Amino acid sequence: MRSEREHLRSSATWRGALWITLIALVTTSVALTVQYVQTTRLIEERSRALVNDEVAALAARYRAEGLGGVVRAIQREGDVSGINEFFYLLATPDGQPLVGNLLEWPASVASPGFHSFDAEVAATSGSPRERSVEARAFLLPGGLRLLVGNISDENAILRERYLAALLWSLLATSAVGLMLGFWYSRRGLAFLDAASDAGERFLQGRLDDRLPVSGRGDEYDRLAQTINRNFEEVERLVGSLRAATDGLAHDLKTPLTRIRARLDLAELEGAQGQALHNVILESREDLDSILQLIEDVLGLARAEATVADSFSAVELHDLVAEAVELFDPVAQERGIELSCRLEPATLMGSRTLLARMVTNLIDNAIKYSSPESRVAVSLESSPGVILLSVADSGPGIPEDMRAEALRRFSRLDASRTRPGSGIGLSIVAAVARVHRAELTLSDNNPGSKVDVIFGSAAPQKD
Amino acid sequence: MSAISELKVGTLTLDLLSRTASRSGRRIELLNKEFQLLEYFLRHAGQVITRTMLIEAIWDYSFNPGTNVIDVHISRLRSKIDGPAEPSMISTVRGAGYRLDAV
């Protein structure tokens, strides 16, 4: 499986590299060819224009001075070492050369017009050489043939150079393209490889596995971060589900075991009258606590499933004031001073969930405070930030247990003797998460302090 | 709500306009929520009222806010409406809730 993936990966890498190379090759070829065609056309046009001028000049001289004038002109041109490398041939109607630096009338030139051919040309110095020429044949009045041409060796040289340049360019492009393409494709594929490996390990149960983030801040990083956030969310959900299942089982088992024992005992003793009535009452209380637990679990599930779409403007100060009013008698009964200091604050949220959060926080603070202590609720509002604090002077939460305290069903006292399902802070955490608020537990010296910070990320009322 | 301006059960009277309460002519000072609570009891006199009903009607919460919050409120209300020598009008129905009767 590993070697097959390795094979797939390298073939995909090469495929990517080849595509990149192919594109580079086509681009290079097209660019060079266009340039070559343009250049040769320009040279040919210029050369033909020069030949035409020369032919017109000789034809004019023939009309003015007759054959002798033309012959003299051709001889004069032949004696000067040519700047324009022209050659001339004046021949009889049957092709016998009369004058000129071309040694014989070329067989391939049978009609007037432009012709390209190779011919022996008499040079101004040394022996005749085979040159490639571009020439125009012209019929003078009286049947004499005139051939005026231009040495076109440079066209052939240009073609050779073009082909050489094309070959070298293509070779260089191929080499560089393959190298860069291989490197580029491998980078992308290496990321995909890492992503599939991490996903594979995640599926096999290593929920803490994450994709590497290079820090370059490119698209790969963005994808890696998104995938990592998904992994984190799955890990968190699985973790809380596991804790919830364990805690729920434990919390259900205790009252159910009590009911069972009570019923067994009542049957054994043949309980009647008041004794039986007590069994019923006590069992009903246990059943109530079970129902309350189930309601809390459902409340937590609802809180976690709430989406921001259902939010409306909530006057948080009113909501907190009501909750404080609700708990004031409870606090007084326990000899706890419940104080509150509220600044007006409005935010977009779920009224029910926020009320649940606030009442949970106050309930917890009162529940875990020792008598004759204080619980302080405060609401501070500044632009973009709303801070809700509930501070108590109870036993506090040890720093290393604070994260655990936010998890479901952890009640901090291992004995689990106090009332309540201990699901409270988990509901608070879920409500905070839904409202994109930050939840922190800190020391109140003595006691603990819960801060809920609704940041600017939390949608404010218009 | 109905057009009546006064609720009366036994010796207990609630004036809905002036929002005052009295029992056997003795004026009872009530906080806003206590008045709403008592009004709810008077409107449902003789019926068993569960804690959930009270939480929803008076505090508009769709959840149980705390372990014994309602019990504490009821016991406060009781101490206000029942004079030293008077019998309690609000009785606890165990496992269910409360009931207000004309004693």
pLDDT tens for residues A6-21?
666 667 777 878 888 8
Mean pLDDT for the stretch of residues A249-258: 86
* Among candidates B62, B76, B95 on the partner chain, residue whose Cβ is nearest the Cβ of A281: B95
Residues of B in contact with A360 (CB under 8 A): 65
| 8 A C-beta contact, residue A213 and residue A221 | yes
Q: What whole-number distance in Å separates Cα of residue A418 and Cα of residue A422?
A: 9
Q: Which residues are CB-contacts of B54 (< 8 A; sequence separation ≥ 6)?
A: B37, B40, B70, B97, B98
Identify which of A94-103, B36-45, B78-87 has the greatest average pLDDT.
B36-45
Residues of A in contact with B52 (CB under 8 A): none
| pLDDT confidence of residue A304 | 76
Bond from prior residue into A106 cis (ω within 30 degrees of 0): no
pLDDT(A460) > 60? no
Q: Where are the alpha helices (DSSP H) in A306-415?
A: 316-333, 351-367, 402-406
| pLDDT confidence of residue A461 | 40
pLDDT(B12) > 50? yes
User: Which percentage of chain B shows pLDDT scores above 70?
Assistant: 96
| 8 A C-beta contact, residue A389 and residue A378 | yes
Residues of B in contact with A294 (CB under 8 A): none
| pLDDT confidence of residue A290 | 86
Q: What whole-number distance in Å separates Cα of residue A120 and Cα of residue A113?
A: 20
pLDDT tens figures, A318-336: 999 999 999 999 999 889 9
pLDDT(A293) > 50? yes
Smallest Cα distance from A188 to chain B, Å? 52
Identify which of A26-35, A296-305, A406-415 has the greatest average pLDDT.
A26-35
Q: What whole-number distance in Å separates Cα of residue A365 and Cα of residue A71?
A: 125
First to last CA, chain A: 57
CATH fold group of domain A307-454: Heat Shock Protein 90 (3.30.565)
Number of C-beta neighbours around residue A309 at 10 A:
5
Please report which confidence band the pLDDT of residue A417 belongs to, taking 50, 70 and 90 as the band edges.
Answer: very low
Q: Which CATH architecture has domain A210-305?
A: Orthogonal Bundle (1.10)
Mean pLDDT for the stretch of residues A411-437: 67
Strand ordering across the sheet containing A113-121: A97-100, A86-91, A145-151, A129-139, A113-121
| Partner-chain contact B95 A330, CB within 8 Å | no
Show the beta-strand stretches assigned E in A152-195.
none
Q: What whole-number distance in Å separates Cα of residue B75 and Cα of residue A170?
A: 96
| 8 A C-beta contact, residue A147 and residue A86 | no
| Partner-chain contact B95 A356, CB within 8 Å | no
pLDDT tens figures, A216-251: 888 888 888 888 988 888 887 787 777 767 777 877
pLDDT(A48) > 60? yes
- With CA atoms as reference, report the closest residue to A316 among A136, A191, A461, A425: A461
Q: What whole-number distance in Å separates Cα of residue B42 and Cα of residue B36?
A: 10
Domain ranges in chain A are: 2-157, 210-305, 307-454
| pLDDT confidence of residue B44 | 93
| 8 A C-beta contact, residue A290 and residue A417 | no
Smallest Cα distance from B33 to chain A, Å? 9
Q: Does B79 touch chain A (CB under 8 A)?
A: no
On average, the pLDDT of chain A sits at 81
What length is written for chain B?
103
Smallest Cα distance from A285 to chain B, Å? 7
pLDDT(A411) > 70? no
Q: Does B59 touch chain A (CB under 8 A)?
A: yes
**Is B46 a member of any domain?**
yes
Encode burial over A153-167: b for 16+ CB neighbours within 10 A, e otherwise.
eebeeeeeebeeeee
Q: What whole-number distance in Å separates Cα of residue A95 and Cα of residue B65?
A: 123
Show the beta-strand stretches assigned E in A44-128.
86-91, 97-100, 113-121
- CA A269 centroid distance within chain: 73
Q: What whole-number distance in Å separates Cα of residue A355 and Cα of residue A190?
A: 49
Q: What whole-number distance in Å separates Cα of residue A71 and Cα of residue A140?
A: 13
**Is B94 a member of any domain?**
yes
pLDDT(A407) > 80? no
Q: Where are the alpha helices (DSSP H) in A312-455?
A: 316-333, 351-367, 402-406, 424-434
Residues of A in contact with B67 (CB under 8 A): 363, 367, 419-420
| 8 A C-beta contact, residue A422 and residue A409 | yes
pLDDT(B45) > 80? yes
Domain harbouring B89, CATH code: 1.10.10.10
| pLDDT confidence of residue A339 | 92
| 8 A C-beta contact, residue A178 and residue A22 | no
* Among candidates B66, B73, B95 on the partner chain, residue whose Cβ is nearest the Cβ of A363: B66
Run of H or E residues at B90: strand B90-93
User: Which percentage of chain A shows pLDDT scores above 70?
Assistant: 88
Q: Taking phi first (over 0 means left), then psi (-120 to 50 degrees means alpha), and beta for anything else, what does residue A436 get?
A: left
Q: What whole-number distance in Å separates Cα of residue B36 and Cα of residue B54?
A: 10
Q: Is A49 exposed, middle or buried (0-12, 13-18, 19+ CB in 10 A)?
A: exposed
Question: Which ipTM was obtained for this model?
Answer: 0.87
User: Which percentage of chain A shows pLDDT scores above 90?
Assistant: 15
Residues of B in contact with A299 (CB under 8 A): 63
Q: Does B94 touch chain A (CB under 8 A)?
A: yes
Written as six digits, the tokens of A44 are 């040919």
| pLDDT confidence of residue A343 | 93
| pLDDT confidence of residue B90 | 92
Cβ-Cβ pairs closer than 8 A, A with B, add up to 52
| Partner-chain contact A326 B95, CB within 8 Å | no
Mean pLDDT for the stretch of residues A383-397: 86
CATH of domain A2-157: 3.30.450
pLDDT(A317) > 90? yes
Number of C-beta neighbours around residue A97 at 10 A:
15
Q: Does B43 touch chain A (CB under 8 A)?
A: no
**Is B43 a member of any domain?**
yes
| 8 A C-beta contact, residue A204 and residue A371 | no
Mean pLDDT for the stretch of residues B91-99: 86
First to last CA, chain B: 26
| Partner-chain contact B62 A363, CB within 8 Å | no
C-alpha dihedral (A430, A432, A433, A437), degrees to nearest 10: -170
Mean pLDDT for the stretch of residues A98-122: 80
Smallest Cα distance from B73 to chain A, Å? 7
Mean pLDDT for the stretch of residues A196-204: 88
| pLDDT confidence of residue A127 | 66
| pLDDT confidence of residue A209 | 84
**Is B1 a member of any domain?**
no
Partners of B8 in the beta sheet?
B13
Please report which confidence band the pLDDT of residue A2 belongs to, taking 50, 70 and 90 as the band edges.
Answer: low
Residue-range definition of the domain harbouring residue B78: 6-100
Smallest Cα distance from A354 to chain B, Å? 11
Among all chains, which residue has been given the structure tokens 């082909």?
Answer: A163
| pLDDT confidence of residue A344 | 93
Smallest Cα distance from A363 to chain B, Å? 6
Q: B58, B63, B74, B92: best mutation site toward chain A, by most A Cβ within 10 Å?
A: B63
pLDDT(A189) > 60? yes
Please tell me the total count of domains within chain B: 1
Mean pLDDT for the stretch of residues A297-305: 78
- With CA atoms as reference, report the closest residue to A304 among A390, A241, A388, A386: A241
To the question of pTM greater than 0.90 for the whole model, the response is no
| pLDDT confidence of residue A415 | 40
Q: What whole-number distance in Å separates Cα of residue A461 and Cα of residue A347?
A: 6
**Is B42 a member of any domain?**
yes
Q: Which residue of A has its CA nearest to B69?
A: A330
Q: Which residue of A has its CA nearest to B94?
A: A281
- CA A442 centroid distance within chain: 38
